[in-house]
Structure 1
Amino acid sequence: MGAVALVLTGCSADSPNAPSGSADGEESPLKEYMGVHYPGVDHREQAIIRADDPGMSEDERNDYRRVEQLVAQCMQEEGFEYVPRSADDQRSDIAEYEEAYSLGPEEFAEEHGYGITTLMFKHDDRPEDPNEEIRQNMSAPEREAYDRALNGEMDTDTTHEAEGHPGELPPEKRGCRGQATAEVYPETADAPVTEQFAGLMSDVASLHDRIRNDPRVTEAASDWQHCMADSGHSDLEHPDEAMSSVLQRMTDLRRSAQDEDSGDMEDGGTSEDLDQQQLAELQEYEVDVATADYACRQEHYNETYREVAFEMEQEFVERHEDELERFRDAIVRP
């Protein structure tokens, strides 16, 4: 579905500034095989997927248009209004993110922090999504029914078990959007290709833990902790906690807004739904933490982490090269 996919950093609590390449530009041994699916990748690369894609082909645009038309038809049958959006609408929505993520990591941290509260709620002057306007004019029960019709049974135990793999749900449980996607993209919609790599992903997670717990890395993390304390963040004990602290505060703020209006902030909402003073304070905190985090990582953590990671990743690649090549061909470069 081309170049319109956007993944915000708030979706991951992995180390946000963990290096994906060496100081001289050498790529991580696993990057070639796993791309953004490896947790050591730089957080700004996760945020914009295929941002350098020149655009959709005519066939991709037609497929996208067909999906939107089918969604609108299905939603009408469910008793709701849905306005089909074009690929250009989606592209304009992420243009501002592409500009932000074109900055260097230090400048990005100083201006946007991790890009969680700062980008997610900063640009409310962009063109409104007509479907979000429809949602916001509904009562909480109506909005819940609308979301269920559009996105399916996202709060079921089945979804939780298949988290991250929507293709594992049958089409009838994926809502109008899932059903439309399954009709237009039948091969990809019904093929949970990641399931066949569950063992590999488990091994990669174990590798990440081994890197994180290597004595050389834990010593560097301790130096990072002292550096952060000197910057006014003595409550943070490990580099993984820096971005996580922003995510947790964001979750608390959204939950507070949800409790106040008994609405649903999980699948929508704008900055107007949040306490403006608290949001501004959180954005300031995010930039402050991210700026200190970047400086402390550069001085005390990243080089050691990179050396250990490259060493262990290379050994991992040598042991799992055949399976990594299959993963790359099926997932990263389909």
Structure 2
Amino acid sequence: MRSSVPFAALAASATILALAGCAGASSGGELTPEDSPLSEYLSAAWGGDLSPEEQQKKFAEQQAKSEALMAECMAEEGFEYAPAQDVSLDISTGDEWEPDKREWVEKYGYGYVSSPGAEAAVEEPAEETVDPNAAYVSSLSASEQTAYYETLYGVSPTDEELEDGTYEYRWEDAGCQGWAQHEVSGDDPAQSEEFTALWEKLQKLSTEAQEGPELADLNAEWATCMADHGEPGFAAQGDAGQSIIAAQEKIYEAASGGDGESGDGESDDGPAADIQDPNDSPEMKALGEREIELALVDLECREKTSFATRSLRIQFALEEKFIAENKAELDAFKAAAEQSK
């Protein structure tokens, strides 16, 4: 059975590479998350060594091949399948996010209640995607439609498998789509049992980086600054932004199931049409103002403590130690990832 560790470990490694990046890049230009010693090894796993344009081109080429193979596979199983056309990958460079710049923070805070991406989505609504197989699928009976989708995507996991975490993706069980994607991409070294131990070590490194004494001291220095500026109660720099996320979730929960609303989409006072969009509510507006106020103090304390540069320095020292202790495994993974491209 294929281990599910790699997916969690890749997420952990992404956290490692961006540990202090979320706090903003160094205002002094000394270090940036891109300087991570581990990036040389881990970027090969997700194409981080390619430019956005190169990633777009690679994705489009692989997707076109995969769609053609899916059509062949479905035909062999007695179904029609029209390959999707012009499938693109939206890759963000992150240039619109500038949480270390006062002008940006004054407008967006942390970017939770309001963000550049949300504004762009409103200004440029996405074109409606037309499914080229919709007419054919609708012509099938209910049982034939079930067979069609199971042949195309495989049997869906049960709710129990999703809830208890026992479900593990295997391309062999993912129908024609899984087979086609495997034919195009080959074996993913990030999912190979050969590197399970490496990913487990990376997960431990992520925890060590966030809970180590050096970062704890830096967070304490930042927290003292926050308290001195009228924002007590935060133990770590990330806690400030998380407090806004938590408050935002409470507003959404109240709108969807609390404060007198029933689970069927109707409130005690009338149909769902009368329920206000929580994003337009006075509570969300007030939270947006609070977010900017808090983020500005956070920014001032990050600048005062040189939080970004110092946390990156702590992180990179741990990475260098990790590389020295696990270089053979990292080299083997990098070689396998590059060979699979």
Please give the TM-score of this superposition, normalised by the length of structure 1.
Answer: 0.60
Q: Deviations over 1:268-309 (max 9, x none)?
A: xxxx99512345445444444444434322322334433433
Greater relative contact order (CA < 8 Å, ≥ 6 in sequence): 2
Give the RMSD, CA atoms, in angstroms: 5.3
2:208 & 2:69 partners in 1: Cα distance?
A: 47
Partner residue of 1:32? 40
2:108 & 2:70 partners in 1: Cα distance?
A: 35
CA contact (8 A) 2:223 2:235 kept: yes
Paired residues, what number? 289
CA contact (8 A) 1:153 1:159 kept: no
1:126 & 1:35 partners in 2: Cα distance?
A: 32
Q: Deviations over 1:237-277 (max 9, x none)?
A: 212323333443454455555546758xxxxxxxx995123
Q: Percent identity?
A: 21
Counterpart of 1:276, as a letter, is N
Q: 1:221, CA displacement in angstroms?
A: 0.8
Matches within 5 A, 1:68-83: none
Q: Deviations over 1:56-87 (max 9, x none)?
A: 68775343135457779999x9x9x9993524
Counterpart of 1:236, as a letter, is F
Change (3 A) 1:161 1:277: same
Matches within 5 A, 1:85-124: 86-87=86-87, 89-91=88-90, 94=91, 98-101=94-97, 103=98, 105-106=100-101, 108-117=104-113, 118-119=115-116, 121-122=118-119, 123-124=121-122
1:241 & 1:275 partners in 2: Cα distance?
A: 23
Partner residue of 2:303? 298
CA contact (8 A) 1:67 1:181 kept: yes
Matches within 5 A, 1:1-334: 17=22, 23-25=29-31, 27-35=35-43, 52-55=51-54, 60-67=59-66, 84=84, 86-87=86-87, 89-91=88-90, 94=91, 98-101=94-97, 103=98, 105-106=100-101, 108-117=104-113, 118-119=115-116, 121-122=118-119, 123-124=121-122, 125-130=124-129, 152-153=156-157, 155-157=159-161, 161=165, 168-171=168-171, 174=174, 178=178, 181-182=181-182, 184-188=184-188, 193=191, 195-256=193-254, 258-259=256-257, 274-278=277-281, 279-300=284-305, 301-331=307-337, 334=341
> Unmatched 5+ residue regions in structure 2?
1-10, 132-145, 266-274
1:290 & 1:154 partners in 2: Cα distance?
A: 42
CA contact (8 A) 2:31 2:312 kept: no
1:59 & 1:216 partners in 2: Cα distance?
A: 41
